[in-house]
Structure 1
Amino acid sequence: MAKEMISGVYGAPPQDLAALGADVVQFSPLVPGAASLEALSPGSLAAMTILASPGTIERRYVTALALRALAPGAPLTVLALKDKGGARIAREFKAFGCDVGETARSHFRICETLRPEAFDREGREFIATAIEAGAPRLVPEMGLWTQPGIFSFDRLDPGSALLLDHLPAFSGRGADLGCGIGVLSLAVLRAPKVTALALVDIDRRAVEAARQNVSDARATVHWADVRTAELGLTGLDFVVMNPPFHDAGIEDRGLGQGFIRQAATMLRPGGFLWLTANRHLPYEEILKPMFKLVTNRAEDGGYKIFEARK
């Protein structure tokens, strides 16, 4: 019996899939429930289209995984904004050992190729190197598992560092919204009176890293979009978060505002939200109508810390 083949798209918003056909499979670490490229067996893909990340390591990793999974002769299309990695795609295709056709449209560079019947030695080595470079890794300096593509994947970001310096010892049930690899959660769980902590993140890679980093039995980890997920988290005593404010590299203040709204619905009356944010973001105007008391606990290095009581 012939092996069943699938076509895939990586990085496209879910609402764009209908235009591509009902048999197209969504691959993405940022769409909860989407399929994983890493799980594909060689030769199982009939075609792949990738909206590439601006990060070089992540982009090469995803492209290499796709080439490994594509059947010989299968088409691969990779596109990105010219100033967000698009200008480099053609050179990377050639390093993988692929012929490339390149076009430009609406500030995007679009590169197309057919998976070679066989890769030469240099191509095989470039694929192997790209997969190894983009795979999950343990960062000795942090003592934590992480992966390129996760926010601040190999260092502690300054906003989280400032929040860590001011977090109180919590008690009861709480949540870490946009938990990343679990840095804030590990600090929260040092408090013996914390009884349960839900870690939530939209990035599957972060979720998998957090599950390795946070082994405390009081913790549960969820791959979900904080803004829309039905997690059943209500009556919480506290929420901590360092919410995102970029979407595809573009500032979007609505992201953090959505996190704040969800935190407000999750907390019990009298519960606390601890939030770190860039100083220029106007979160006060959304915090004050939803919380009885909003206190600026610290400002330093372009960041600020809020404590908000429900």
Structure 2
Amino acid sequence: MPGAAETLFLPFASGDIDPPAEGQHFAYFNAALPSGELDAALKAALLCEQGYRPEFRRLGEAGFEVSPVLGSPAGTCAAALVLAGKHRDENRRMIARACAAVATGGLVAVSGDKSLGIGSLRKWAGERVEILGSLAKHHAAVFWFAAPERDAFAASPETGAVVNGRFETGPGMFSHGKPDRGSQLLAEHFGPRISGKVADFGCGWGYLSVRLLEVALPDSLALFEAHYPSLQAAGRNVARVAPALPVTEHWTDLRAEPVARQFDWIVMNPPFHAGRSAEPDIGKAFVRAASAALLPGGRLLMVANRKLPYEDTLSRSFRRVTPLSETEGYKLIEAVR
């Protein structure tokens, strides 16, 4: 969302929103790195929240104060900024949290791409508070308002949801409303032979791990996920099924952060979207990461969209590659390190 990130800071450049005074903090939800340089005082005032590991690392490397979840007490920030994404309920919840982060009357600014529904989000907010101003540029728009005295956003959606009566999920997580069909098909190939040290690469909210624990008895389970809220949900979902199992949670960008060679089995349904179009290089990076993390003789079980070209990367990274099935537009593959 580079356009929306640039647009979010337009009111500061135009003088419509005052810069922070010395010692003030501005909460910044779903923070993203703008392409241009920010005023030094504004940059220093920002308390960034970013749960997506690659963007979190970019912000940190650029010198921003950033955490996966903002821990500042309610009402302590002078203002709050929200960079809206594509998930309606998540956007509404961020606005509610932004209002809670500032004192009554504190400024809240919200920016988003026009193609992702910033217009409807502004309409929703405008039904609850008075919109004080707005600007548009870079195919995006920003609007701002004063945080209300009472909680005008009390009915905003909670982040949690329950799938199939037992899986905790939430807006912004992959396939948060129901298990992904590819993952369901992969789970049909799980069994007692999956043992030893097991990892779930790109675990999401933990569907594959929970299904695996229903039929296998691993010695330990490692969860790897780049989206922090999903990883937290996965840990809770797994703990309900196997409270005594040694489980480790790794908030990791598997495309860029290496994993030590230690696992007997890895299961995965790798992501293949960073934006709107398919990006096979993401899945290829997951395949290479799995190869590097498996012990000699270790096995990978994965599912992918049938059209994604992973075969060459698999053959280069593994000693033996076996197609298990191809159905409903998915291919299921087992590979031996």
TM range (shorter): 0.7 to 0.9
Look up the match of 1:150: 173
- Do 1:93 and 1:100's aligned partners in 2 also have CA atoms closer than 8 Å? no
Alignment partners' CA distance in 1, 2:289 and 2:36: 27
1:171 to 186, 190, 195: 195
Task: Give 4+ residue runs of structure 1 displaced > 4 Å after superposition.
Answer: 14-18
Offset at residue 45 of structure 1 (A) = 1.6
Distance in 2, Cα, partners of 1:281 & 1:196:
31
Matches of 2:327 and 2:247 in 1, distance apart? 30
5+ residue gaps in structure 2? Answer: 1-22, 57-65
Match of 2:229 in 1: 205
Structure 2 SS opposite 1:96? coil
Q: 1:154 to 1:17 in 2, by over 3 A?
A: farther
Letter of the structure 2 residue corresponding to residue 77 of structure 1: A
Q: Deviations over 1:242-294 (max 9, x none)?
A: 11111244433222122111111101122111111111211112211111222
CA gap of 1:8–1:226, structure 2 versus 1, over 3 A, is same
Contact 2:198 2:265 in 1 (8 A): yes
Equivalent residue runs for 1:25-44 within 5 Å: 25-31=47-53, 34-37=67-70, 39-44=71-76
Please report the TM-score for the alignment, with normalisation by the length of structure 2: 0.80
User: What corresponds to 2:314 in structure 1?
Assistant: 287
Aligned to 1:23: 45
1:11 aligns with 2:11: no
For the 8 Å contact 2:270–2:282, the answer to whether it is kept is yes
Q: Partner residue of 1:76? A: 108
The answer on 1:218 being equivalent to 2:241 is: no
The equivalent of 1:274 in structure 2 is 301
1:60-209 correspondence runs (5 A): 60-116=92-148, 118-119=149-150, 124=151, 126-130=152-156, 133-139=157-163, 141-169=164-192, 170-209=194-233
Look up the SS of the partner of 2:96 in the other structure: helix
Q: Which amino acid aligns with 2:85?
A: S
Deviation at 1:143, TM superposition (A): 1.1
CA contact (8 A) 1:10 1:28 kept: yes
Q: Is residue 2:264 matched to residue 1:237?
A: yes
Q: For residues 216 and 190 of structure 2, what CA distance do their matches in structure 1 show? A: 14
Structure 1 residues 104-124: Cα deviation after superposition (integer angstroms, max 9, x where no partner)? 2121122222324x24xxxx3
Question: Following the alignment from structure 1 to structure 2, what is the Cα–Cα distance between the partners of residues 251 and 144?
Answer: 27
Identity in percent: 31
Q: Once the two structures are superposed, what CA deviation does each residue of 1:185-217 show, in whole Å capped at 9, x if it has no partner?
A: 122223554211101112221122122211222
Question: SS where residue 219 of structure 2 aligns?
Answer: strand
Deviation string 1:35-75 (CA, Å, 9 cap, x unpaired) is 424x4433112222222121111110011110111223333
SS in 1 for 2:282: helix
- Work out the CA distance in 2 between the residues paired with 1:76 and 1:156: 35
Paired positions, count: 296
Alpha-carbon distance in 1 for matches of 2:328, 2:119: 33
**Structure 1: gaps of 5 or more residues:** none
1:218 Cα deviation from its structure 2 partner: 2.9
The 5 A counterparts of 1:241-280 are 241-280=268-307
Contact 2:135 2:143 in 1 (8 A): yes
CA contact (8 A) 1:26 1:34 kept: yes
1:298 to 318, 325, 334: 325
